[in-house]
Amino acid sequence: MNRINRRELAAPAAMFVIGLAAILGAWGFELIGGYVPCKLCLEERLPYYFGLPVVLIALIAAAAGLRPGVSRTLLAVGGIIFIAGVYLGGYHAGAEWGFWPGPTDCGGGSATPTSAGDLINALKNIHVVNCTEAAFRFPPAAWGLSFAGWNAVVSLVLVVMALWGTLRAPAATAAPRTLVTEAGGR
């Protein structure tokens, strides 16, 4: 792999790893930590579901040695998708802090019951998640960032990485070195 290809791999590879870690972290908190996502939490995942495949294709294009314009265009598209993640995370975090009202129809998602017994159990154990209450903050203080706040930060980092990968100057291609001999025949 030549130097230009390695250089073109940096942004899509970093974006893909960070984005994948973010969505896996969200699923982990849900599955292992027992956190129930609200409606806005689930909507905040959409940029990852659409953006990560685009970034992966950019990574594959760079690894395949395609023209840098191909991977850079895909990075730009990925960056635009993650701008939606910044907005969704920022909106949700602002609603949690009380800067503006959250949606009135916000509640937790759950599986549809398939029998009367499942329905009764579901009603007994129903837990509606309010979009305006942060389930977790880090650092654990009133000013700490919630999952939504951290999602906005990660999405912003991904947008900046996409901009960096898209707009940075291309690597200079070195001219092949030639052996110049002097007239003395050395």
What does the pLDDT look like over 65-117, one tens digit per residue?
899 999 999 999 999 999 999 999 999 999 999 999 988 887 544 555 667 77
Q: Mind listing the pLDDT tens digit for each residue in 118-172?
A: 767 666 665 557 888 888 788 887 778 999 999 999 999 999 999 999 998 776 5
- For residue 33, the model assigns a pLDDT of 86
The CA-based diameter of the chain, rounded to the nearest angstrom, is 99
Task: Select the more confidently predicted residue: 167 or 186.
Answer: 167
How far from chain centre, in Å, is Cα 172?
30
- For residue 175, the model assigns a pLDDT of 46
- For residue 138, the model assigns a pLDDT of 83
- For residue 155, the model assigns a pLDDT of 98
What are the structure tokens assigned to 115, written together? 């029998």
Q: Is the dihedral of CA 83, 88, 91, 94 positive or negative?
A: negative
In this structure, which amino acid lies at residue 111? A
Give the domain ranges of the chain: 3-101+116-167
- What's the rounded Cα separation, in Å, for the pair 41 and 57? 26
User: Quick check: 16 pLDDT over 60?
Assistant: yes
Contact assessment for residue 162 and residue 15, using Cβ atoms and an 8 Å cutoff = yes
